[in-house]
Amino acid sequence: MPFLITATDHPNKNAEREEVRQAHRDYLASFGKRLLASGALLDENGENIIGGSSLFDTDDREEALLFESEDPYAQAGIRADVKITQWRLRWWVGEFDADGHSPSKK
């Protein structure tokens, strides 16, 4: 059963985030299809990144913890808080095109 990993960032870490962004993206890409979804969490205005969320396909909580702790953002001290919770798909409507980042059609 996949794990939902939700991380909130320390404030004012934009420069640090930018420095390791490509390493973070490369790290995520290295998991291939085991990384079911991943993206930034935004502030109330939808303008600033305040964290991130990933849906990681593993049955092993320790592996989910390792996935988060070895992320370059975590290694750079950007993350303030992390929650790791098992996730179960109950209902899915619409389409998602990860390559084109297209939202679901209504």
pLDDT computed for residue 61 by the predictor: 96
| Residues of the chain predicted below pLDDT 50 | 101-106
pLDDT computed for residue 105 by the predictor: 43
**Domains of the chain: residue spans and CATH:** 3-86 (3.30.70.1060)
According to DSSP, residue 34 is labeled G
3-state secondary structure of 53: strand
Give the strands of the sheet with 79-86, arranged side by side: 35-42, 49-56, 3-9, 79-86
Counting other chains too, the contacts that 42-47 makes at CB distance below 8 Å and 24 or more residues apart are none
pLDDT computed for residue 104 by the predictor: 43
* pLDDT tens-digit series, residues 86-105: 998 877 666 665 655 444 44
Contact 7, 52 (CB under 8 A): yes
pLDDT computed for residue 89 by the predictor: 80
pLDDT computed for residue 1 by the predictor: 86
pLDDT computed for residue 6 by the predictor: 98
Angstrom CA distances, 36 to 2, 13, 33, 76, 96, stand at 9, 26, 6, 24, 11
